Chains A and B, each alone.
Chain A
């Protein structure tokens, strides 16, 4: 199982900081909500943790999954 970013959708309010911190993995859709592009690789783990930390809505988590 890979490590993946999961969005807590009801909490997310499209502030977009995840995309600022982690553009490699997070795009924004036409309404500003994150599109997670793939699993968190070892190289990007630190940035992913940063994205989780800076989310003002605490709407991101790194979980085991696909």
Chain B
């Protein structure tokens, strides 16, 4: 029996680019948590914030470095880069610039969005305390272009403060790659908000050639909490290897995304709603990797442990959909190809070709050899890691859903046509839901 079926439905933006499989969230549900999200019921005002945390204690750069080292602070933007290394690097130069990157170009993620709405002053305390420790007088806050409520909340919070430090806001472009570190430096330099070749790390030579300490909202909020509450309290949750907590976005397309705060070491499954148990999920976002329910069920919220399992925690995004994962991957890759900055040849030629091929696999006539060939042609051949992240998602689909991909090649998506042929245990649940 041959079944033919339609290509994945691609909706398009006004400019013709494929739309994100998940739109920018208009609302976010934020659950109280053990650290940053403790006390959010008192609201985001500066008065409520000071009532809970008191004034910012003054630290010098040595004390700040010791603190972030002691708690093994790592960036929460996805790469989990040790914050102390960035800090020590900018300290070796002169007149550092500090940047709070709240652009959150990954539309399925909503954690910095959640912080803007509930905890803007923790973010700002983190960067202001650091500015004072580093004797830096200029802070840039980059606001998301596609989340007006979050941008307005940050502006309101900045207007409430008088820190004796100049805080300037800039709004990022509406593009997936706009939040990439070098693209943000380009934006702040007055050029298009797009990735460019970085010949040295931003912490060495960033904005106007000056050492630039750039981190996302959550990272700065963690620094803020650490400075306000001290290392003991920071390390009172989490594990000895990974002290503290991290934000997770649970995104279920069609519903309002939920932001949780999990202590490191917690079971990941406890943050996945019951009715999604049994489903696979995209972990780490559109540049992340698919995980089966079996993997999700045994996973701990841990940068190290998830890396060892082959699934990066990334920026803490878990995307769960009852849609066929091959279909969702094809739509996502079409979207990511359209998000190329159109600057690097291998990316603007390779990603659309890759998207066509993944769609062809979805439609039952794609070639896996061609996917592998294209993957090799785009990886590590661009100014940013957009092609690399896109390939990671495609590869994870191929390895996680090998049987389902094979079913597509034979012309029968087991999820779409009710053929009821189960492909792998993890799909039994999808069939019930779909």
Chain A interface residues toward B at CB < 8 A: 7-14, 29-33, 35, 61, 63
Q: List 28 A-B contacts (CB under 8 A).
A: A8-B197, A8-B383, A9-B197, A9-B344, A9-B345, A9-B346, A9-B347, A9-B381, A9-B383, A10-B195, A10-B196, A10-B197, A10-B343, A10-B344, A10-B383, A11-B197, A12-B344, A12-B345, A13-B345, A14-B345, A30-B377, A31-B345, A31-B349, A31-B350, A33-B349, A33-B381, A61-B199, A63-B199
> How far, in angstroms, from A48 to B341 measured CA to CA in the complex?
29
B199 and A9: CB pair below 8 A? no
Closest CB in chain B relative to A57 CB, distance in Å: 11
Closest CB in chain A relative to B232 CB, distance in Å: 41
**For B196, what are the chain A residues with a Cβ–Cβ distance below 8 Å?**
10
**For B346, what are the chain A residues with a Cβ–Cβ distance below 8 Å?**
9, 29, 31, 33
Going nearest first, the 7 A-B pairs with the smallest beta carbon separation are A9-B344, A10-B343, A33-B345, A31-B349, A8-B197, A9-B383, A9-B382
**For A29, what are the chain B residues with a Cβ–Cβ distance below 8 Å?**
346, 377
> How far, in angstroms, from A36 to B195 measured CA to CA in the complex?
21
Interface set, chain B 292-349, CB cutoff 8 A to A: 341, 343-347, 349
Q: Which of B199, B345, B382 has the most CB of A within 10 A?
A: B345
> How far, in angstroms, from A29 to B345 measured CA to CA in the complex?
10
Closest CB in chain A relative to B425 CB, distance in Å: 40
**For A32, what are the chain B residues with a Cβ–Cβ distance below 8 Å?**
345
Interface of B is mostly: loop
Closest CB in chain A relative to B17 CB, distance in Å: 19
Closest CB in chain A relative to B434 CB, distance in Å: 39
**For B381, what are the chain A residues with a Cβ–Cβ distance below 8 Å?**
7, 9, 33, 35
**For B377, what are the chain A residues with a Cβ–Cβ distance below 8 Å?**
29-30
**For B195, what are the chain A residues with a Cβ–Cβ distance below 8 Å?**
10
A-B contact number at CB 8 A: 39
> How far, in angstroms, from A63 to B198 measured CA to CA in the complex?
12
Which residue from chain A places its CB closest to the CB of B373 in the assembled complex? A30
> How far, in angstroms, from A61 to B200 measured CA to CA in the complex?
13
B349 and A9: CB pair below 8 A? no
> How far, in angstroms, from A56 to B195 measured CA to CA in the complex?
22
Closest CB in chain A relative to B204 CB, distance in Å: 14
Which residue from chain A places its CB closest to the CB of B350 in the assembled complex? A31
Closest CB in chain A relative to B365 CB, distance in Å: 21
**For B197, what are the chain A residues with a Cβ–Cβ distance below 8 Å?**
8-11
> How far, in angstroms, from A32 to B381 measured CA to CA in the complex?
13
**For B341, what are the chain A residues with a Cβ–Cβ distance below 8 Å?**
10
**For A63, what are the chain B residues with a Cβ–Cβ distance below 8 Å?**
199
> How far, in angstroms, from A32 to B348 measured CA to CA in the complex?
13
Closest CB in chain B relative to A65 CB, distance in Å: 11
**For B382, what are the chain A residues with a Cβ–Cβ distance below 8 Å?**
9
**For A33, what are the chain B residues with a Cβ–Cβ distance below 8 Å?**
345-346, 349, 381
Which residue from chain A places its CB closest to the CB of B374 in the assembled complex? A30
**For A14, what are the chain B residues with a Cβ–Cβ distance below 8 Å?**
345
Interface set, chain B 171-188, CB cutoff 8 A to A: none
> How far, in angstroms, from A20 to B51 measured CA to CA in the complex?
69
Q: Digit string of B369-389 for contact with A (CB within 8 Å is 1, else 0)?
A: 000000001000111000000
> How far, in angstroms, from A35 to B350 measured CA to CA in the complex?
14
**For B383, what are the chain A residues with a Cβ–Cβ distance below 8 Å?**
8-10
Which residue from chain A places its CB closest to the CB of B196 in the assembled complex? A10
Given contacts A9-B345, A10-B343, 14 further A-B contacts (CB under 8 A): A7-B381, A9-B347, A9-B382, A10-B195, A10-B196, A10-B197, A10-B383, A11-B197, A29-B346, A31-B349, A31-B350, A33-B346, A33-B381, A61-B199
Which residue from chain A places its CB closest to the CB of B344 in the assembled complex? A9
> How far, in angstroms, from A11 to B346 measured CA to CA in the complex?
12
Closest CB in chain A relative to B375 CB, distance in Å: 13
Q: Which of A9, A31, A61 contacts B343 (CB 8 A)?
A: A9
> How far, in angstroms, from A11 to B382 measured CA to CA in the complex?
11
Which residue from chain B places its CB closest to the CB of A59 in the assembled complex? B197
**For A12, what are the chain B residues with a Cβ–Cβ distance below 8 Å?**
344-345
> How far, in angstroms, from A7 to B382 measured CA to CA in the complex?
8
Closest CB in chain B relative to A44 CB, distance in Å: 21
Closest CB in chain A relative to B328 CB, distance in Å: 28
> How far, in angstroms, from A13 to B381 measured CA to CA in the complex?
13
Q: Digit string of B186-224 for contact with A (CB within 8 Å is 1, else 0)?
A: 000000000111010000000000000000000000000
**For B349, what are the chain A residues with a Cβ–Cβ distance below 8 Å?**
31, 33
> How far, in angstroms, from A11 to B197 measured CA to CA in the complex?
9
> How far, in angstroms, from A29 to B199 measured CA to CA in the complex?
23
Which residue from chain B places its CB closest to the CB of A32 in the assembled complex? B345
> How far, in angstroms, from A48 to B364 measured CA to CA in the complex?
45
